[in-house]
Chains A and B, each alone.
Chain A
Amino acid sequence: MSAATTLPVYKKKDFQSDQDVRWCPGCGDYAILSAVQSVFPELGIPKEKFVVVSGIGCSSRFPYYMNTFGFHTIHGRAPAIATGIKLARPDLDVWVATGDGDALSIGGNHTIHMLRRNVGIKVLLFNNRIYGLTKGQYSPTSELGKKAKSTPYGSVDRPFNPAVLAVGAEATFVARSVDVFQPHLRATLKKAAAHQGSAFVEILQNCNIFNDGAWENLTHKDMRDDHTIALEHGQPLVFGKNRDKGIRLEGLDLEVVELGDGVSEDDLLVHDEHHESPCYAFALAHMDRRPGFPTPIGVLRAVDAPRYEDLTAGQIEQATAKKGPGSLADLLRAGDVWQVS
C-alpha cells in the first residue's frame, strides 16, 4: 500500500460520537469538547490513530463523546494506562482527559511520573477547583478557606497550582487556557498537539453547579485583561486593559511594573517558551499566587527532550541489531545444560 494514501478531509462532526452528552447544562466541559472536536480534524492525523483516555470524574466522561478510540478507566490512573498504550503503540496519538481531583489528588503520582518520563501523551486537565461528580467537595486546587460539602468551616488545605506542579516535574510542555476563551483554547490545543513529548494543558473550567464563577476574575470582560497575561513567544510580557502594565525581572524575581514614566516595553521580560531552565517557567506559573500579579495563559514552556517511548523502543532495536532477533530454542538452552540418555 502506498504511504502517500491521502488523508480523508475531516469535519468537526466526524469527531462527534453518537452518544448524548450528559454534562450539566452550562458546564464548561461543553466548550472544551467543542474546541477539541474542532482541532482534531485539523491535525493531519488519521481518525483511527486517536485514543482518548480518561480517569474518573465529570471531565473523564470525555471519551464517550469523541468518535475516536476511547477508554474511560479508573480514578487517577489514566496517565499510567495511557503510558502502556503509548509504549505498546508509539504511532497512536494518545490524549488524556482528566480533572483536578483525578490528576492531582488520587492520580497525582501517575501525573508527575508520566511528565518526568516525557511520554508522548497530551494531557487536558480540566481545572474547576471542585469535585463535581461526587457533588461538591473541595479539590486539591480549591483555594484556602473554601467552603464546600466536606469543609463547612472552610478548607485548611493549601492548594496545588497545576502548572507549577507540572513544571516541577520538568514537563517539557506546559500551557494554560480557559474554557470560554475559544480561539485561545484552540490555538493552545494545536500547539500541544504539535509537541513531541508530554504536553500538559491546564484548562480553567467553570462548574456552574458546585463552583460557579470559579474563574470569574479571569473571564469577566471587565476584569480579565487586568488579571490575565497572554504569553506570546518572543513578545514582552504586557497586560492590562490598556496594555499599561508589564512584568520585569528584578534580580532573581519578577515584579509588576506600570508602563510609562521611564518604563517602556523594552524593559520588560520577553517571553521565551523554549527557555531550557524550568526556573523561568516556574516563576511564570507561580505568578497567580501573588497579589497584584496576573494569571499567565498560553504556553509557559515548550522544550525538546527525548520521548520515553522512543528510548524504550530504541533499546529493543539496538539489542536486536546487536544480538539478532532472539532464538527461543537458544534461550531455553542458555547456561549449563546436560544430556540424559
Chain B
Amino acid sequence: MQITGSQFTNTAALYGNDLATFPDYPAEIRAPAGTLPGVSGFQIHFASEDVYTPGDAVDALVAMNPAALKMNLQDLRTGGILVVNVDNFKDADLRKAQMTSNPLEDRTLDGYRLFPVELTKLTRAALKDLGLDAKSMDRCKNFFALGMCYWLFNRPLDSTSRWLDAKFKSKPVLAEANKLALKAGFAYCDATDAFQVSYEIPAAKLPPGTYRNISGNSALALGFVAASQRSGLPLFQGSYPITPASDILHELSLYKHFGVTTFQAEDEIAAAAAVIGAAYAGQLAITTTSGPGMALKTEAIGLAISVELPMVICNIQRGGPSTGLPTKTEQADLFQALFGRNSEAPVPVLAPSTPGDCFWIALEASRLAVKYMVPVILLSDGYLANGAEPWRIPAVDDLPAIPVKFQEAVADFKPYARDPETLARPWAVPGVAGLEHRIGGLEKQDGTGHVSYDPANHSRMTHLRAEKIERMVRDVPEAAPVGDPEGDLLVVAWGSTFGAVTAAVRARRAQGRKIGHLHLRHLNPLPANLAEVLARYRKVLVPEINLGQLRYVLRARYLVDAIGFNKVEGKPFTISELEGKIEEVLQ
C-alpha cells in the first residue's frame, strides 16, 4: 500500500500538482493482513493550489478489506467516493476486522458514493495468461486499484510503468503483471463507466524552477551530502537502525562515491561515540536516531559539549515514552533536546518545518556546528520523515558556504584558546606535528585544556559553554510572523505543524481575523527579537504535538501567558481543529 501511495504521489507531482502525503503504517513488519492492527494506509492531498497538509477529511477512499474500511471511514467526507474490494468482505474477513455485520449490506455506507469492485477477481482475470500462481497475482491487486485511481483523476500511467520496469528489472514477469493490473484497473473504469465522472486537477502555480518529490528523510540525507561538499569535509554517519530514522542511513550508504562513510554501529551509544571520534579526526560527523536512541546517546552528547567538537545529532521524533509508537509522529522530545543531559549542558536545537526544509536545516545545522565547535541537535519527526512534497531543486552555487578552519599554527597553540567572536576553540586534528595535546571529559582549564578542579575555572567554563550558544543568536534570523504583524493572536509553532498552522491561520485571516503565524526553526537559541514580537499580539497560542513543551519554554523565558493546543494521538493536526481552537481563543 505504501508503494501504491508513493506511485500516485510521484505521478501527481510530475503532473505539476502541489501535494502533501501522510503514510500511516503499523510498527509490525508483517502484521496479519485484514486485521485492525495490520492496516497500512497512505493519504495524499493534491491540488492546483498551494497544499499545506495531507488534508483533514478525504474525498476518495480505497479500502482493500473491512479492517481498512473500519479504521478509515471516519475520515471520509459525507458524499465522498468509496471504493471497496468486495472479494475481501467474506465472513472470515469481517471476523478479522471484528465486525458483526457486513457494512456493504447494513446501510452503514449509505452516506457515501459506494463503488463495490471485485478487485481480486478482476486482477486475476487480467493476469490469467502470465502463468503466475494465485498468491503472486493477488499481490498485484493494489496496482489494479491504483489504475482505477489514475482513471478517476485523469493521470497518465507512464511514470508508474517506468518505475515497475526498473523495480522488477530482474523479474520481467512481475513488471508485466503489475503493469497489466494497472492498465486493467484503468480500462475497467473506462469500460464500465463505474465512476461516471472523472476529475481534472490542473497543475499548481508553484514558483518557477525544476522540481522533484522529496521526503524529509531523503532531504536530510541530501542536505548532509551538500554540507559535506560545501564544507570540503568528508561526511561520516554513525547510526544504529531505528524507526523512523533508518532511511537516512540507507540513503547515505548509497553515496560512497561522494566520499561518505556510513558506520552501522553495535548500538546507539557506539554510533554517537564513533561520531565523536570522526569529528575529533576532522570529518563532518552526524548521527541519526529517534527518541529512545537519543536517550542512549545522552552521555556522549555531554562529552561532545565538554570537548567542544562539532557534530549533528538528528532525532526523528516518534511517539513515546519508551518504545511508544515507533511509526507514529510526535513532537515530544523538545525538552529532551533542550534539557536532557546532566549538569549545565546547552546545545543548539533546530527543527525543520516541511519535508523539503529538512535539506536546508541539515546545511544550517552543519554550518553552525563547525562555526561554533558544538554538537547541534536537529529535531525532525516521523511525519516529516515519511511525508513527501514537491521540492524546488536549488542550484549548487546558491547553497550557503560552510567555511572550515583547522588549526595549523604550532606556535603558542592552546587547545582551548577561543575565537573572540564565536568563542569556538580551535579544531586541532591529530597528525599535525607540534599540535599534540590531550582533551577529555574532565573539566579543563580554559586555554591550556589541562585537567582543572579549580572552582573559579569551572564557573568560567560553565559560563563560556552557555555563552557560546547565546552568541549563536547572531546567526538566527529575527522572528518575522507571517500574516498580521500585530493584532489579536500570534500562533507560535515549530516543526512539522507548519502546514496545518499555515492553512488554519490563512483560513481564519480570510474571515477577517488579525492573526500572525510565527514558525520557529531555531529553538535554541531563540530569535533575539522574540520577546518584542510576542508583545505585539493580544494573545499567544502554541499548538504542539505534545503536552506543551515550547509553551513551557516561552512562558518561563518571556513571562507570556501563552495558551496551549495539544494533541498526542500519533497523528498531525487537522486544519479544522486548529481553526476551531483559534476561534475559541479569539472569543
Binding site for B on A (CB under 8 A): 17, 19, 46-49, 51, 53, 63-64, 66-74, 77, 80-89, 91-92, 109-110, 113, 312, 315-316, 319-320, 322-326, 328-329, 331-341
B440 touches A72 (CB 8 A): yes
Q: How far is the CA of A110 from the CA of B277 in the complex (A)?
A: 14
B residues near A328, Cβ cutoff 8 Å:
225-226, 229, 258, 396
B435 CB within 8 Å of chain A: yes
Docked-complex contact B257 and A324, CB < 8 angstroms: yes
| Contact A71 B14, beta carbon cutoff 8 Å | no
**Is B261 in the interface zone, CB < 8 Å from A?**
yes
Whether A325 and B280, one on each chain, are in contact in the complex, defined by CB atoms closer than 8 angstroms, is no
Contact at A89–B282, with CB atoms within 8 Å?
yes
| Known contacts A80-B265, A334-B212; 4 further A-B pairs (Cβ under 8 A) | A48-B432, A48-B436, A87-B274, A110-B269
Bound: A81/B207 CA distance, A: 46
Q: Is the beta-carbon distance between B212 and A336 smaller than 8 angstroms? A: yes
For the complex, give the distance between the alpha carbons of A47 and B263 in Å: 28
Q: Identify which of residues 208-260 in chain B touch chain A, using a CB-to-CB cut-off of 8 Å.
A: 208-213, 222, 225-226, 229, 234, 236, 238, 255-260
Chain B interface residues (CB < 8 Å from chain A) = 10, 13-14, 16, 159, 203, 206-213, 222, 225-226, 229, 234, 236, 238, 255-261, 263, 265-267, 269-270, 273-283, 285, 299-300, 302-303, 307, 392-396, 429-442, 450-451
The 8 residue pairs across chains A and B that have the minimum distance between CB atoms: A84-B277, A72-B440, A84-B274, A326-B258, A80-B273, A88-B281, A319-B256, A80-B270
How distant is the Cα of A283 from the Cα of B14 in the complex, in angstroms? Answer: 65
Contact of A88 among B222, B236, B299 (CB under 8 A): B236
Q: Given A81-B276, A316-B261, verify A72-B210 contact (CB < 8 Å).
A: no
Asked if A74 meets B299 with Cβ closer than 8 Å, knowing A63-B440, A331-B222, the reply is yes
Binding site of B, secondary structure by majority: helix, strand, loop or mixed? mixed
Please indicate the chain A residues that have their CB under 8 angstroms from the CB of B159 in the complex.
336
A315: chain B residues at CB < 8 Å are: 256
User: In chain B, what residue has the closest Cβ to A340?
Assistant: B206
B257 contact set on A, CB distance < 8 A: 316, 319-320, 322-326
A145 to B477, CA, bound (A): 63
Report the nearest A residue to B276, measured CB to CB: A81
Question: Given that A73-B276, A324-B257, A326-B225 are contacting pairs, would A48 and B435 also be in contact in the complex, using a CB cutoff of 8 Å?
Answer: yes
Pairwise interchain contact A113-B270, C-beta atoms closer than 8 A: yes
Residues of B contacting A92 in the complex (Cβ-Cβ under 8 angstroms): 281, 430-431
Min Cβ gap B477→A in Å is 24
Q: Give complex CA distance A341, B276 in Å.
A: 45
B208 neighbours in A (Cβ, 8 Å)? 340-341
Answer whether A72 and B436 are a contact pair too, CB < 8 Å, given A48-B430, A81-B273.
no
User: Whose C-beta in chain A lies nearest to the C-beta of B209?
Assistant: A340
Give Cα A49–Cα B429 distance, bound, in whole angstroms. Answer: 10
A339 to B206, CA, bound (A): 10
B300 / chain A contacts, CB cutoff of 8 Å: 74, 77
Question: Chain B nearest CB: distance from A266 CB in Å?
Answer: 46
Q: Which residues of B contact A91 (CB under 8 A)?
A: 431
Whole-angstrom CA separation of A66 from B437 in the bound complex:
9
CB distance from A198 to the nearest CB of B (A): 14
Q: Note all chain A residues with C-beta closer than 8 A to B393.
A: 332-333, 337
User: Which A residues touch B238, using CB under 8 A?
Assistant: 84
A-B contact pairs, 23 of them (CB 8 A): A47-B436, A48-B431, A51-B430, A63-B440, A64-B438, A71-B280, A74-B303, A77-B269, A83-B263, A87-B263, A87-B277, A113-B266, A312-B263, A316-B257, A316-B259, A332-B222, A336-B212, A337-B210, A338-B210, A338-B211, A339-B211, A340-B209, A341-B208
A49 to B281, CA, bound (A): 11
What's the minimum C-beta distance from A339 to chain B, rounded to whole angstroms? 6
B234 close to A88 (CB less than 8 A): yes
Residue of A nearest to B15 (CB): A338
Q: Nearest Cβ distance between residue B167 and chain A, in whole angstroms? A: 13
CB-based contact A109/B437 at 8 Å: no
Once bound together, how far apart are the Cα atoms of A309 and B268, in whole Å?
Answer: 20
A48 contacts B434, C-beta separation under 8 Å: yes
Q: Are A73 and B270 in contact (CB under 8 A)?
A: no
Residue numbers in A under 8 Å from B442 (CB-CB):
72
In the bound assembly, the distance between CA atoms of A83 and B272 in angstroms comes to: 11
Chain A residues within 8 Å of B273, by CB:
73-74, 77, 80-81, 83-84, 110
Residues of B within 8 Å of A51, CB to CB, are 430
B212–A83 contact, CB under 8 A? Answer: no
> How far, in whole Å, are A64 and B234 apart by their CA atoms in the complex?
29
Residue in contact with B440 in the complex, picked from A48, A71, A338, CB distance below 8 Å = A71
* Structural contact, B270 and A329, CB atoms closer than 8 A: no
User: Are B255 and A331 closer than 8 Å at their CB atoms?
Assistant: yes
Contacts of B210 in A (CB 8 A): 333, 337-340
A337 vs B394: C-alpha distance when bound (angstroms):
13
Q: Chain B nearest CB: distance from A32 CB in Å?
A: 17
Give chain A residues whose Cβ lies under 8 Å from the Cβ of B259. Answer: 316, 320, 325-326
Q: Which of A46, A49, A109, A331 contacts B270 (CB 8 A)?
A: A109
What CA separation (Å) do A316 and B433 show in the bound complex? 28
Q: Which residue of B is nearest A14, CB measured? A: B436
Is the beta-carbon distance between B10 and A336 smaller than 8 angstroms?
yes
Distance to closest chain A CB from B224 (angstroms): 11
Neighbouring B residues of A19 by C-beta, 8 Å: 438, 450-451
- Asked if B433 contacts A46 (CB within 8 A), the reply is yes
A63 to B234, CA, bound (A): 27
B211/A340 in contact, CB under 8 A: yes
